[in-house]
Amino acid sequence: MVKLLIWLILHGAHPSNDTLLHRHVAPHPKCSRCMAPSDSILHCLRDCNRSRDVWGSVSLSLWSNFFNLDTIAWVSAGAGFFGVVNHFQATQFCCILWWIWHARNYEIFSNKHIKSTQVLSQANIMAMESTRLLSKLEVSQTHIRRVQWESPKLGYKLNVDGSSLGNTGHVAWEV
């Protein structure tokens, strides 16, 4: 769930009111919590007063331009892509993002507010548990390679999807 949220943010698919308005789903771009005129991804997770309350309580050292970066640079730096923070801080940052998003949705859909101290507490518990579990795994060196679709040089490309349930010999496919 945290990785999915990070992916959505980095790909501009995060369902904030700005994004939903652009897709003709939301009636307005306003923040549902503070009524700011624009509920962008960055506003939801960093600039809204409710989010700033959480970030103001974070004990990790925030880099000097924390509130000045654009969405991609801010999330990338916080998630540890540029070595600005250590591994635990990157995990903590991502967990805080998820809990801020969770608290935002809970408030909007349940009309109940989660205090910033509780958001931060739950995020820290999640970060510590994630770090503890990951430390037990054997970590192998991975090579990150950007994958994207390329059109075939000649002819056509046929996409096929299939699945198998164990080794029972039963399979399904679709063209």
Output the pTM of the full model: 0.72
Phi first, then psi: what are they for 173, rounded to 5°?
A: -145, 160
The torsion defined by the Cα of 13, 37, 114 and 63, in degrees rounded to 10, comes to 70
Residues 127-151 pLDDT 10s: 999 888 877 776 555 666 666 777 7
Residue 91 lies in a domain: yes
Q: Counting Cβ atoms within 10 Å, is residue 54 exposed (0-12), middle (13-18) or buried (19+)? A: buried
CB 126 within 8 A of CB 95: yes
Cα 45 from Cα 72, distance rounded (Å)? 13
Question: What's the rounded mean pLDDT across residues 114-137?
Answer: 89
Q: How many structural domains are present in the chain?
A: 1
Cα 163 from Cα 157, distance rounded (Å)? 20
When mean pLDDT is compared across 23-37, 120-134, 161-175, the lowest value belongs to 161-175
Range of the domain at 73: 2-135
Q: Is the pLDDT of residue 15 over 90?
A: no
Residue 144 lies in a domain: no
Q: Counting Cβ atoms within 10 Å, is residue 155 exposed (0-12), middle (13-18) or buried (19+)? A: exposed
- Token reading at 87: 């591994």
Residue 92 lies in a domain: yes
Residue 7 lies in a domain: yes
Residue 146 lies in a domain: no
- CB-based burial, 93-115: b 16+ in 10 Å, e otherwise: bbbbbbbbbbbbeeeeeeeeebe
Residue 151 lies in a domain: no
Residue 120 lies in a domain: yes
Residue 167 lies in a domain: no
pLDDT band at 124 (very low <50, low <70, confident <90, very high): very high
